[in-house]
Amino acid sequence: MSDYEALLKFNKVPINKEMINYICALTESIINIKNSNSMVSIALPPPPLAKFIKNICVKSNVQTPTLMATTVLLEKLKKIIPSNVYGIESTRHRIFLGCLILSAKSLNDSSPLNKHWAKYTESYIHLREVNTIERELLNYFDWNVSISQEELFSSLSYFLEPIKQDMMMKQRQNSLLMNIPSVNSSSIQLQEDLSCINHHNNIPLEETKTSLLSYSNSDYSLPSLASFQSYTDKDHSPSSVASSLVDEDNICNNDSIEIIDEINSKYIDNITQHNKITIKRSAALHSFF
């Protein structure tokens, strides 16, 4: 699973609280705030940053790709602004709004005007201030607001990694399901093996089916339900096996007994000649027929 495929899937996810909180935390890490005792800040305190971001997203109807591309600009700005610089209460709100405006204008053919962005802030930031914020950020970025895929992969790794792991897990599950042999393929293979045995020994197919079916139904088939003692006490010669087969299938004529003796004798010889085909195959053939 590549980062690009995970990014395509992530772009289809609607904006949620986790995305907003992530952008809020990233914005707060850019610059420190020093509380001021000005009359403006006391009379009109800024809304919580997370609430401010949420309101902007709802009113502007911004989509996930545009919003999350803002993280690339915020990461760049974090490297530009010195760590010893302090801002006022509304600085973080202005930084986010400015980066969102640049992201929307650089990624979309059509985006809201600055007067619309000022309206989305519920008049907390006026149009003149919005224009100033945009110009200042362009100067910080040296007018380079391009966003590459590698930058997106890096800034959104927090969201992309779980998607990649989830998709890799699903691929493993699908591969395991694809590798399970189907009943039809197993049946075809068993039929081919049976035909090969019949061709070698010149045994009719129907006679071999009858013999294997009776043999797998007897007490001597594996796995056996009979105890080990009862199993060892019985005679396992071809003639005794044929006799038990006759009793179970209610075959009462001598011709049938001779046919079954011949089938079992040839079948046992075939086990020795062909790497001692296991009784488990007989059980599998019984389940097939």
Q: What is the pLDDT of residues 244-276, one digit of tens each?
A: 544 544 444 455 555 555 555 655 565 555 545
Q: Which helix (H) or strand (E) holds 279?
A: helix 279-288
pLDDT, position 131: 97
Which residues touch 283 (CB under 8 Å, ≥6 apart)? 216, 221, 222, 223
* Range among 15-29, 37-51, 80-94, 256-270 rated most confident: 15-29
Angle, vertex CA 63, rays to CA 116 and CA 161, nearest 5: 145
182 or 289: which carries more pLDDT confidence?
182
Backbone angles phi, psi at 87, to 5 degrees: -120, 180
Split at pLDDT 50, 70, 90, the class of 107 is very high
Mean per-residue pLDDT over the chain, rounded: 76
Q: What is the pLDDT of residues 203-246, one digit of tens each?
A: 555 555 555 444 444 444 444 343 344 444 444 444 454 455 44
What per-residue string of b and e applies to 103-128 under the rule 16 or more CB within 10 Å gives b? bbbeeeeebbebeebbebbeebbebe
* Position 17 pLDDT exceeds 60: yes
pLDDT, position 217: 46
Mean pLDDT on 161-169: 91
**pTM of the shown model:** 0.61
Split at pLDDT 50, 70, 90, the class of 67 is very high
Distance CA 18, CA 237 (A): 75
Question: How large a percentage of the chain has pLDDT more than 70?
Answer: 59
Split at pLDDT 50, 70, 90, the class of 179 is confident
Q: What is the pLDDT of residues 133-161, one digit of tens each?
A: 999 999 999 999 999 999 999 999 999 99
Does the 3-160 domain belong in CATH 1.10.472.10?
yes
275 or 163: which carries more pLDDT confidence?
163
pLDDT, position 228: 40
In the block, tokens 């990233």 appear at 26
